[in-house]
Amino acid sequence: MPIREYSAVDSKKSCKACKEGFEQVEQMDSPSITVCPECGNKVERQFSAPSVGPSDSGLHDRAKNAGFTTYKKSSKGEYEKKY
Ligand SMILES: [Zn+2]
């Protein structure tokens, strides 16, 4: 699940949580929140660079965990089952 970062739009109208910024774990398809769940004042989403490793390192694991069967191409030009 993605973690989204929010912080107060107006630091004068904020609580301790949103003044400094807070992280919110949300469903992938849920809309971003617009108000602080603590104080109800307006917050905006922060787009900080996510710390991800080499781009496709987790791809096969993700596919595997999701129940997909992945195939690798053999030297003979045929596909053989890898998992
Ligand atoms: Zn707040």
pLDDT digits (tens, 9 = 90+) for 16-66: 999 999 999 988 888 889 999 999 999 999 986 555 555 555 566 666 677
Q: Is 44 exposed, middle or buried (0-12, 13-18, 19+ CB in 10 A)?
A: middle
Cα distance between residue 14 and residue 19, in whole Å? 5
Ligand 1 center to 10 CA (angstroms): 10
pTM here? Answer: 0.54
Ligand 1 center to 28 CA (angstroms): 23
Ligand 1 center to 66 CA (angstroms): 36
Query: Which residues have C-beta within 8 Å of that of residue 14, sequence separation ≥ 6?
Result: 8, 36, 39, 41
Triad 19, 33, 22: Cα angle to 5°: 30
